[in-house]
Amino acid sequence: MTTIQDPFKLFSLWYEEAKADDKINDANAMNLATSSWNGVPSNRMTLLDSFNNEGFTFYSDPQSRRGEELSDNPRASLCFSWDSLKRQIRVEGNVVLVDNNKETPNGSVLYNVVPTNVEFWQQNDSESYDKIFYRLENSKWENEVVDAQNAENPLIGRSKISA
């Protein structure tokens, strides 16, 4: 079975397809989940600023609930949902402030989610879906295909979905 070894490459492929899809207005919209020092979760929509092999960045007011929670508990989970493509990506990781970060005029600062786990899911039809789970182990990305109907190339081939 062919799988892409690196979740950033697969993210990039899917993100480009989401940006090119007329039915998706904000391909960069993502749900950001944080939790308080004592484990109370909260989430909200946020815009992805950029991504590369080091992580996924977004701007936030450090005085907001998310900013306060990230200061107390620097872990976050992101969820991208591109309904017309029947795709979802979940990212979990540690959050760091970007180096030499200067506050913007509106008081926001740039945060980077450095992923430890990334899950890609796509629905093929009402009965089948593909799912692949990546986790960082000893600085190397391992992946596990949890379920895949497109055995040749589980997350790229969309032969069962009409455009």
Residue ranges that bind ligand FMN, judged by CB under 6 A = 26, 29, 42, 44-47, 60, 64-66
Q: Which is nearer to ligand FMN, 48 or 118 (CB)?
A: 48
Q: Which is nearer to ligand FMN, 46 or 77 (CB)?
A: 46
Minimum distance, C-beta of residue 42 to ligand FMN, in the bound complex (Å): 6
Give the Å distances, CA to CA, from 131 to 67, 81, 93, 94: 31, 14, 19, 23
Cα–Cα distance, 61 to 104 (Å, whole number): 9
Minimum distance, C-beta of residue 44 to ligand FMN, in the bound complex (Å): 4
Minimum distance, C-beta of residue 28 to ligand FMN, in the bound complex (Å): 9
Amino acid at 35: S
Sequence-ordered list of residues with C-beta below 8 angstroms from that of 77, at least 6 positions apart, any chain: 32, 33, 90, 91, 92
CA 74 from chain centre, in angstroms, equals 16
Minimum distance, C-beta of residue 67 to ligand FMN, in the bound complex (Å): 7
Phi-psi map region of 138: left, alpha, beta (phi>0 left; psi -120 to 50 alpha) = left
Minimum distance, C-beta of residue 59 to ligand FMN, in the bound complex (Å): 6
SS3 141: strand
Q: Which is nearer to ligand FMN, 36 or 159 (CB)?
A: 36
Cα–Cα distance, 145 to 3 (Å, whole number): 8
